[in-house]
Amino acid sequence: MELKWYAVYTRSRMERKVADQLNKINIENYCPLNKVLKQWSDRKKLVEEPLFTSYVFVKVSQKQMNSIRLVYGVVNFVCWLGKPAVILASEIELIKKFLSEHNNVKLERVILNINDRVKIIQGPFMEMEGSIVALKKRKVKVLIPSLRYIMTAEIEKEDVMVVHNSLTPHN
């Protein structure tokens, strides 16, 4: 009984409630919460809100999938080519690490493109490899392929080194 990470699509604004329901039935789950500074007329406050709108990640076996669909607030599994999309455990860990080290994380929906492969040589993501999607001033965009999202944070350009340049012809 192999457990894998999947994304479930929830009803609008039900991410935390779904996560609570899954906890009650002992299903391992992760609802990434982003710390965002909100401005009111009289004050500012750091609040937590779901990073992925209408998504909660679950770690389940294929047998448990039907019971997940019965959880109040769950619409269905996020599918790719007609099958529930498997999310790599390393990507879940990357999201956790990213959110623990950065506030006000922004998401962008992307179509996957093959760009330069880089290895981060300094900072919190040291030794990680990924594809550079965009590089402006001090911002590096980290691609999470199976989710088709980009998390953006400021990383110094000198903290990455090119492993494979997409402009170099292949032999």
Number of structural domains in the chain: 2
96 or 112: whose pLDDT is higher? 96
Q: C-alpha distances in angstroms, 22 versus 9, 17, 28, 54, 76?
A: 13, 9, 7, 15, 14
Q: Look up the pTM and report it.
A: 0.68
Strand partners, 9: 55, 76
With the CA atoms of 130, 96, 52 and 30 taken in that order, what torsion angle do they form, in degrees rounded to the nearest 10? 130
The answer to whether residue 144 sits within a structural domain is: yes
pLDDT at residue 67 in the model: 94
pLDDT at residue 111 in the model: 38
Q: C-alpha distances in angstroms, 15 versus 20, 89, 94, 141, 142?
A: 9, 20, 20, 25, 24
3-class secondary-structure state, position 113: coil
pLDDT at residue 106 in the model: 84
Tell which residue, 56, 52, 75, has the closest CA to residue 7.
56
The predicted model gives 5-24 an average pLDDT of: 97
51 or 147: whose pLDDT is higher? 51
Domain boundaries, position 133: 105-164
Residue 150 has pLDDT above 80, yes or no: no
Check which CATH number belongs to the domain holding 151 and give it.
2.30.30.30
Position 144 confidence tier, pLDDT thresholds 50, 70, 90: low
Rounded distance between C-alpha atoms, residue 71 and residue 76, angstroms:
10
Q: Quick one: 83 and 111 in the same domain? A: no
The predicted model gives 54-72 an average pLDDT of: 96
pLDDT at residue 104 in the model: 84
As a whole number, the mean pLDDT across the chain is 81
DSSP state of 20: H
Q: Quick one: 110 and 80 in the same domain? A: no
pLDDT at residue 109 in the model: 65
Q: What string of DSSP letters covers 53-73?
A: TTEEEEEE-GGGHHHHHTSTT
The answer to whether residue 98 sits within a structural domain is: no
Q: Which of 87, 122, 149 is the last residue of a domain?
A: 87
Check which CATH number belongs to the domain holding 10 and give it.
3.30.70.940
Rounded distance between C-alpha atoms, residue 144 and residue 150, angstroms:
6
Residue 45 has pLDDT above 70, yes or no: yes
